[in-house]
Amino acid sequence: MSEPRYKILVADDDEMIRTLHAEFIRGFGYEVETASDGIEAIAKVGLGVDLILTDAHMPNLDGFEVARRIRETRSSEELPIVMATSLEAREDRLRAYEAGINDFINKPVDHTELRLRLKWLLELKTTQDELRKNKAHLETTVEQRTRELRVALEEVTRAQREIQSAHLDTIRRLTLAAEYKDHDTAGHIERIGRYSEVVGTEMHLQPGIVDLLLHATPMHDVGKLGIPDSILLKPGPLDDEERSIMNTHTTIGGQILSGSESPVIQMGERVALTHHEKWNGTGYPNGLRGEEIPIEARICSVVDFYDALTMDRPYRKAMQPDVVVQMILDETGTSFDPSVVDIFIRARPQIEAIQAEYVGS
């Protein structure tokens, strides 16, 4: 790889010194531009020079002002400035650094010292130019990769949403299969989920739990898929043996939904198994008591009781909401969790608004 061809600007009002310095620099293998004062020096920076060798004292603009003006647009890494000067005072040196001078060389300029100073500063500039170029390339690459990653993430998000939607749709269809067998409706299972969502929100459960309630509580009766039609669809009261078989829909539902890694189905399993447990421990299948019963099942038992009795069934007409609410209150502390009932009563306007959306469902 060939050495870069550098261009040096020599600025000095003394023609003899300017010529001497220019001859030195050409001898080092560099191109040279010259300027006889500060104004010309500022103008010739636009020629693309790589370094400036300037005198301190020049007419119009001195070397200090030349450096200051250049530094307003160019950093010291982009364009090194060397001052050739006979100034020795500390104040002058400090002023030069503040103006943006990178280095000094004393007059009269020593040929060897000048060559070494220029070589070092130009090599440093080359390295810094490469670093800037690499940084710009890296930034461009990062921006491109970020755009590509963003597109990929959007695609993954879209795919995950589609998978989640399909997952929830499958759950809903499974639930519908159980409910249709029992002559219930799609509206019933959707209402159970939405009622549970309202109650969970009013109880200040975590948003993720509330979302699970919406999709999991409708699975409470999925175990009815395993109940014989002769019992499930019997128009009259069940005898003891038939009631015992009917009660197994809780354990059947738990078995159908067991072993899943899906949080929705895991909650659905708990609801299916325990939604007939009672607050006082007299429920089935395991006689759980109080907070031994999962909160999702305690919520489901209240909203399911309400919705089941306020909707028409083949063997009876719907009951009035006020009557059903009073029945829930009468069973508070016996069948139902008092804290859930309290929230349910408070949320009753929202519950009834949802129910009104499903008129005829």
What are the catalytic residues?
224
Which residues, in sequence order, are CB contacts of 268 under 8 Å at separation 6+? 171, 215, 216, 217, 219, 220, 222, 257
Which helix (H) or strand (E) segment is 81 a member of? strand 81-85
Q: Pairing between strand 103-106 and 51-55?
A: unpaired
Whats the size of the chain, residue-wise?
361
Q: Which two tokens stand for residue 74?
A: 């160019």
User: In whole angstroms, what is the distance from residue 357 CA to residue 361 CA?
Assistant: 9
Cis amide linkage into residue 4, ω under 30° from 0? no
Nearest to 213 by CA among 203, 225, 226, 222: 203
Which residues, in sequence order, are CB contacts of 11 under 8 Å at separation 6+? 18, 34, 35, 36, 37, 38, 40, 41, 52, 53, 54, 55, 58, 63, 66
Q: Does residue 251 contact residue 226 with C-beta atoms inside 8 Å?
A: no
Which residues, in sequence order, are CB contacts of 224 under 8 Å at separation 6+? 178, 179, 181, 182, 232, 249, 252, 253
Q: Which two tokens stand for residue 172?
A: 């809903």
Compute how many other C-beta atoms are within 10 angstroms of the C-beta atom of residue 315: 11
Query: What is the DSSP secondary structure assignment for residue 3, as one 8-state letter?
Result: P
Q: Which two tokens stand for residue 236?
A: 């009259």
- Please list, residue by residue across 99-130, b when 16 or more beta carbons sit within 10 angstroms of its beta carbon and e when fewer do: bbbbbbbebebeeeebbebbeebbeebeeeee
Detail the DSSP E strand segments found in 86-185: 103-106
128: amino acid identity, one letter: Q
Q: How far is CA 132 from CA 118, 136, 138, 205, in A?
A: 21, 6, 10, 53
